Amino acid sequence: MAYSTTLPKDSLLQAYVADKDHLDVFCASLDDRPDLLTCDIRALADRVLKADVPWVEKLMGLRDAIAKPFGLKTAADMTGGTEQRDVSELEVGDRIGFFKIYAISENEIILGENDWHQDFRISILRVSDADGAKVYAATCCRRHNLAGHAYLALIMPFHKRIVMTFLDRAVSPL
């Protein structure tokens, strides 16, 4: 089961996070999923970020319908631009789902989007150490104005449940 934790010190996201940014971090065990320990980090991110959760799809549709009149980017605005190809071939600037890739290393990928109310980054980080194998999903939101603060306050209860659900689905046994 996914749980709330802190961002590992060696995460690439540490270089992005500023004092007033919102940061949340969730983690799930990979001990029962050795295949996810050895797969390309882009494939792991794809599995986490594109988990099939029908209630999330409905919630995102509602979010987009509410957000569009306020000039916020919708999922449709952010999807596209990356032709269909193997996820392991994606590079910085391409997208996994509607998330733009900002950085890729062997065990971490940083994705996100910039908008007028806030910029956000998501880290999918894989760690294997004496405490076991884990996947971390961290979200950093850099709010630019009151709209960014209000938006984050509105989505936060849903965001936490969504991230934990996506992590749990991603690491569930085959």
Say if residue 81's pLDDT is above 90: no
How many other C-beta atoms lie within 10 A of the C-beta of residue 69? 7
**35-61 pLDDT per residue, tens:** 999 999 999 999 998 877 666 576 666
SS3 sequence of 150-165: HHHHHHHHHHHHHHHH
Distance, in Å, from the CA atom of 11 to the CA atom of 8, rounded to the nearest integer, reads 6
Q: Mind listing the pLDDT tens digit for each residue in 115-174?
A: 888 999 999 999 998 889 999 999 999 999 999 999 899 888 888 998 999 999 999 987
What domains sit in the chain, N to C, each tagged with a CATH number? 3-171 (3.30.530)
Rounded to whole angstroms, the Cα distance separating 21 from 139 reads: 10
